[in-house]
Structure 1
Amino acid sequence: MSELANIVLHAGRAGVELALFVLLPVMVVMLSVMRLLEAKGILDKLVAIVGPLLRPFGLPGLGVFAMIQILFVSFAAPMATLAMMDKGGSPRRHIAATLAMVLGMAQANVVFPMAALGLNAPVVMAVSTLCGLIGAGLTYHIFARNLPERDDDNPMVVKHKDADGPKGVLDVINKAGAEALKIAVGAIPMLVLALVFVALMRATGLMGLLEHLFTPLLASLDLPSSVIMGTITKYIAGGTAMMGVTKDFLDQGLLSVTEFNRLAGFWIHPYDVAGVAVLISAGPRVAGVLKPALLGAGVAILLRTLAHGYLF
């Protein structure tokens, strides 16, 4: 019983430290910058410029905004944009392409905190953007080509906070900080549970059994056995939980920074049970295009995995 208590206490301390001392500061800065750019209308101008260039990939203006949100805010941020597309009568093929892109791209709430631990954020984001666009294009032109479309006259306009004057700027920053705190605190339970899960698998010998079974395959790929636990955690509990486990592996020397960069394309994205559940809750029309979106996102993640294996 004392051993279990020690496991829980160690996991709790590690989870809280990661959330409050790594995730929170990064998210405060990134969210403040993003919200100020939104309030000043700079992002709207960027969407207007980039939007026409991404039309061949099946992405509308709001789809471009969703791309910016997942790259610079968090995996859950595009949910609001997807909800607007759901209710605003956006064609289902456009919704499918946007969802595929979001599911196949790297989320900021993992990329930026892990950059402090050695992740090559610029490469991750560049590869993520390129492969996400390919996944969106394949979804729009192939996987979702038979989806029915529905349009209506509802305007799809993104409403932003006003940042005119010192008070407006301060209000935007304060709200961004509160949003970042909510994200960080909300991540603590999953981080702690994931770390407890990993520790229990080690203590019961299940980790050793899995490592024994998959060692030949991992050896052929020049990867450590810790990949098994990281992959299980990521696809069941999500990217934030994977981040906690990965930090633990890095601290213990069970995973090198180079190996983590090689695995970034396979690990860093919201294509997991938790991520999919959050994103499809944006609306019934979003949930209805999940199947083709998963196919497109799967191609994007495969391409990202191969690209990172080649680059690192």
Structure 2
Amino acid sequence: MSEFAEIILRSGKAGVELAFFVFLPVMVVMLTFMRLLEAKGGLEWLTTRLSPLLRPFGLPDLGIFALIQILFVSFAAPVATLAIMDRSGTSSRHIAASLAMVLACAQANVVFPMSAVGLNGLATILISAICAVLGATATYYLFARRLSDQEQLPEPKPEHPLADDTLSVLTVINRAGREAIEISVGAVPMLILALLLVNLLRSAGAVDLLEPLLAPVFSLFDLPPAALLPIVTKFIAGGTAMMGVTMEFVQSDLITLSGLNRLAGFMIHPFDIVGIAILISAGPRVAAVLRPALYGAVLAITLRAVLHGLIF
């Protein structure tokens, strides 16, 4: 019993330290920057400029906005944008392409904290953006080709606060700080439980039993056997939980930096049970196009995994 309590305390300490000493500072800085850029009209300006380039790839204006949100805010940020698309006249075909893109993208709330321990964040963002757009294209022109592409109403623009004076700038900064704190606090339970699960499996000898069995598969892809637990954690508990386990393994030298970067293309995205459930909660029209979006996301993630394996 005392050993179990010690594991709980050790997992709790690691989860809290990760959330408040790594996750929180990064999210405060990134969210403040992005919210100020949004309030100043920078994101709308960028979306307008990118629209003519990305529209042929099956992405509407709001889809481009969702791409920027997941790459530089968090995986949950596009939910509001998908909800606007769900309620507006955006075609089902465009919604499917946008959802596939979001599912295949590297989320900022994992990329930036993990960059602190050796992840090549810039390469991860660029590769994921390119592959996610290709996944959206495949969804729009192939997997969702039977869905309607007729827009019923002009596509709306997302609403955002303005920052025209010092007071409003401070308001945006404080709001971004509160949002970062809420995200970090919300991540604590999942981080602690994920680390607890990992520590219990390691203490019970389950990891030592499975790693030799799966070693040939992992060696085929030049991955360390220790990658088993982060992968399992990712697809069951989500990206934040995976981040906690992976960062602990990197700091313990169970996963090398090159191994971390090879795994990034396969593991850093919202394509998991938790991520899919949150994203399709945006609305019934979003949930209705999940199947073709999943096909496009699988294609994009496969491309990401191959590219990361070749580059790193």
TM-score (norm 1): 0.98
For residues 37-59 of structure 1, the C-alpha deviation after alignment (integer angstroms, 9 at most, x for no partner) is 11111111111110110011110
Shift of 1:153: 3.0
What is the match of residue 26 of structure 2? 26
| Cα displacement (A) at 1:151 | 3.2
The 1-side partners of 2:119 and 2:184 are apart by 19
Distance in 1 separating the partners of 2:132 and 2:250: 28
Aligned to 2:4: 4
Corresponding residue for 2:151? 151
Q: What is the deviation of 1:149?
A: 4.3
In the alignment, what sits opposite 2:64? 64
Matched residue, 2:299: 299
Whichever residue aligns with residue 156 of structure 1, its letter is P
Structure 1 residue 221, shift from structure 2 partner: 2.5
- Identical amino acids, percent of aligned pairs: 58
Aligned to 2:153, the other structure's residue is in SS state coil
Aligned to 1:97: 97
Structure 2 unpaired stretches of 5+? none
Q: Does 1:196 align with 2:165?
A: no
* 1:85 and 2:89 matched: no
Matching residue's letter, 1:217: V
Return the alpha-carbon distance in structure 1 between the equivalents of residues 199 and 237 of structure 2.
15
1:168 & 1:274 partners in 2: Cα distance?
Answer: 35
Alignment of 1:129-144 (within 5 A): 129-144=129-144
* Deviation sequence 1:227-246 (CA, Å, 0-9, x none): 11110000000111000001
For 1:311, the aligned partner's letter is I
Task: Specify the code of the residue in structure 2 equivalent to 1:247.
Answer: M
Cα deviation, 1:141-163, whole Å, max 9, x if unaligned, reads 00000013453336512111011
The 5 Å alignment of 1:258-273 reads: 258-273=258-273
2:139 paired with 1:119: no
Q: Structure 2 counterpart of 1:25, which letter?
A: P
Change (3 A) 1:160 1:212: same
Partner of 2:224: 224
The amino acid of 1:38's aligned partner reads E
Instruction: Report the aligned-residue RMSD.
Output: 1.0
- CA distance in 2 between partners of 1:94 and 1:235 (Å): 26
6-15 vs 144-153, which moves further = 144-153
CA contact (8 A) 2:90 2:155 kept: no
Counterpart amino acid of 1:291? R
Aligned residue number for residue 177 of structure 2: 177
Please list, as runs of the form range in 1=range in 2, the aligned pairs for 1:234-245 lying within 5 A after superposition.
Answer: 234-245=234-245
Aligned length: 312
C-alpha distance in structure 2 between counterparts of 1:254 and 1:272, whole Å: 24
Q: In the TM superposition, what whole-angstrom CA distance separates every residue of 1:254-285 from its partner, at most 9, and x where no partner exists?
A: 00111100110001000000000000000000
Using the TM superposition, name which of 262-271 and 200-209 deviates more. Answer: 200-209
Alignment partner of 1:107 is 2:107:
yes
Q: Determine whether 1:45 maps to 2:45.
A: yes
Displacement of 1:101 in angstroms is 0.3
Q: Does 1:282 align with 2:282?
A: yes
Cα 1:93/1:162, change in 2 over 3 Å: same
Distance 1:46 1:219 in 2: 43
Letter in 2 for 1:281: S
Q: Give the gaps of 5 or more residues in structure 1.
A: none
Give the whole-Å Cα distance in 1 for the aligned partners of 2:25 and 2:110. Answer: 13
Cα shift at 1:209: 1.7
Offset, 1:220: 2.7
Match of 1:233 in 2: 233
C-alpha separation in 1, matches of 2:102 and 2:153: 26
SS in 2 for 1:119: coil
Letter of the 1:11 counterpart: S
* C-alpha distance in 2 between matches for 1:132 and 1:46: 18
Alpha-carbon separation, structure 2, partners of 1:253 and 1:147: 48
